[in-house]
């Protein structure tokens, strides 16, 4: 772990009013607890099973961010305690989150994941799909009511490349979508973008929530 790097990053985030989500996937609970004891509360995890185990072992006031690709059949395992689901990329998943959230009487904070990278492999909605989902959940619409979901904003991952001009362009595009689709009723105020390699650019382009793992916890072993 690199506590100095963490402290520096936190200071920068506080100064710029950016929420720092410490991405602890594959890292032991001891590391999470060490950061917790420094005051960190927002942690990000990618795998349902791992998150469930860690949640059981760690303090209850941790705000867990699920940042991986959530399968519909696993929603029920985390919905009662998760603070925010970042990677929602279909209306079907949104419906399942709503259903499970209703069962345990919570309102689930969700971010819609937008496909901004050039790679085919990354998950996410395109602009048209985003528009369709927002239309479906519009508060003044009859029909489908998604009362137990709060769409708090957008999330995206830039291309995995050294070309920072490209990365900046992708983050800028995500910011432009936020501005384009935000309404009074649905302000989409959270913009979750930026990781270890590109959080600087993300913040410059308007991110207010970064998800940083390896800079804080060190390199991960490949799964
Ligand atoms: C792993 C992961 C991160 C953190 O990546 P680092 O490069 O270690 O900072 C951020 N966001 C998502 C969606 C991830 O899967």
Paired strand residues for 78: none
Tell me, what's the pLDDT at 117? Answer: 94
For 151, what's the count of Cα atoms within 13 Å in the CB-facing half-sphere?
Answer: 30
**Minimal-distance CA residue to ligand 1 atom 7:** 196
Whole-number Å distance, alpha carbon 128 to ligand 1 midpoint, is: 26
Query: 88-143: per-residue pLDDT in tens?
Result: 999 999 999 999 999 999 999 999 999 999 987 768 999 999 999 999 887 665 54
| Residue 53 in this model has a pLDDT that exceeds 60 | yes
* Predicted local distance difference test score (pLDDT) of residue 99: 96
pLDDT at 122: 66
Report the pLDDT value the prediction gives residue 89, as an integer from 0 to 100. Answer: 95
Distance 96 CA to ligand 1 centre (A): 25
The number of CA neighbours under 13 Å toward the Cβ of 85 is: 34
Residue closest by Cα to atom 12 of ligand 1: 67
Residue 72, Cα to own-chain centre: how many angstroms?
17
What residues flank ligand 1, with Cβ below 6 Å?
23, 25, 46, 67, 157, 195-197, 211-215
Q: Which residue's CA is the nearest one to ligand 1's atom 6?
A: 213
Q: What is the pLDDT of residues 193-219, one digit of tens each?
A: 999 999 999 999 999 999 999 999 999
Give the residue-averaged pLDDT of 33-56: 98
Record the pTM. 0.96
* Atom from ligand 1 closest to the CA of residue 220: 8
Residue 76 pLDDT > 70: yes
* 20 Cα: distance to centroid of ligand 1 (angstroms): 12
Mean pLDDT of all residues in 153-167: 96
């Amino acid at each position: 772990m690199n506590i100095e790097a963490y402290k520096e990053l936190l200071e920068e985030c506080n100064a710029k009013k950016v929420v720092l989500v410490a991405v602890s996937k594959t890292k032991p609970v001891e590391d999470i607890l060490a950061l917790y004891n420094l005051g960190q509360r927002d942690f990000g995890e990618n795998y349902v099973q791992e998150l469930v185990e860690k949640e059981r072992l760690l303090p209850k006031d941790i705000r867990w961010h699920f940042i991986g690709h959530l399968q519909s059949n696993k929603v029920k395992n985390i919905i009662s305690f998760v603070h925010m689901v970042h990677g929602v990329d279909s209306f079907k998943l949104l419906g399942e989150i709503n259903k499970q959230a209703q069962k345990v009487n919570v309102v689930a904070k969700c971010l819609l994941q937008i496909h901004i990278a050039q790679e085919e492999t990354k998950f996410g909605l395109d602009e048209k799909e985003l528009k369709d989902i927002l239309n479906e959940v519009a508060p003044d619409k009859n029909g489908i009511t998604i009362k137990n979901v709060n769409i708090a904003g957008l999330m995206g991952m830039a291309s995995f490349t050294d070309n920072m001009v490209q990365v900046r362009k992708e983050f800028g595009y995500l910011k432009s979508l936020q501005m384009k689709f935000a309404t009074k009723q649905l302000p989409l105020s959270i913009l979750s973008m930026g990781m270890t390699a590109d959080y600087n650019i993300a913040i410059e382009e308007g991110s207010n929530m970064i998800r940083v793992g390896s800079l804080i916890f060190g390199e991960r072993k490949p799964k």
